[in-house]
Amino acid sequence: MSKVLVVHGSPRGERSHSRRLAEVFLQAWQAANPQGSLTRREVGRGAIPHVSEAFIAAAFYPQPEARPLSMQADLALSDELVGELFEHQRLVISAPMHNFSVPSGIKAWVDHIVRLGLTFDTQLDNGVAHYQPLVLGKKVLVITSRGGGGFGPGGEHEAMNHADRWLRTALGFMGIDDVTVIAAEGEESVPERFQQSCAQAEQQLLALARRF
């Protein structure tokens, strides 16, 4: 049975275009995969805490198997999020572009799942760290909306698009390099142009739902 983890990153509810597009895709995917299961994780409107000093101390404790109970508590949410990541074969991330990057909730979520010894490992070779990804065989769909236009591949503002690049880097660091990005652009431009972009994104998502 295929399992999809959905991470919603927009702080907006029904007014979120990335969230709406993601739900269009998920309905089509569920229809094509009636035995599949969906798990939704809210990080845009939910309380995903930013990494704290206590979190860092616990995550890098030299003997993970002997962490004090207080440190285990500091990592409880992170452990849960990492567990979700491993339990699902597919991952859908819906996230608008905020100030050329991802919303802070998505950043906080990534900070919780990029964990030494769990999602990546490291070895020293002559004092140089070599990283080993530990999350393999996953497929990711990123569904995004951008207020302006020209942020996609080949666009005039592509260099300003740090959201797609950052997500690919963070996911790839853990071993997830099968990443598809589908975007709607131009909410802040001519309404008709944005509606056309949304319609194109929907068509791409509906086609992808049958083979994701």
Indicate the annotated binding residues: 10, 16-18, 145-148
Query: What's 1's DSSP letter?
Result: -
Could you tell me which residues come within 8 angstroms of residue 2 by beta carbon, excluding any fewer than 6 positions away? Answer: 33, 35, 36, 37, 89, 90
The DSSP-derived string for 122-183 is EEEETTEEEEEE---S-EEEEEEEESSS--STT-TTGGG-HHHHHHHHHHHHHT--EEEEEE
Question: Do 9 and 106 meet the contact criterion of CB atoms below 8 Å apart?
Answer: yes
Binding-site members for FMN are 10, 16-18, 145-148
Query: Dihedral (C-alpha) 107, 109, 111, 112: value to the nearest 10 degrees?
Result: 170
Q: Per-residue DSSP letters for 6-60?
A: EEE--S-STT-HHHHHHHHHHHHHHHH-TT-EEEEEE-SSS--PPP-HHHHHHHT
Q: Containing H/E element for 185?
A: strand 178-185
| Residues in CB range of 86: below 8 A, 6 or more apart | 135
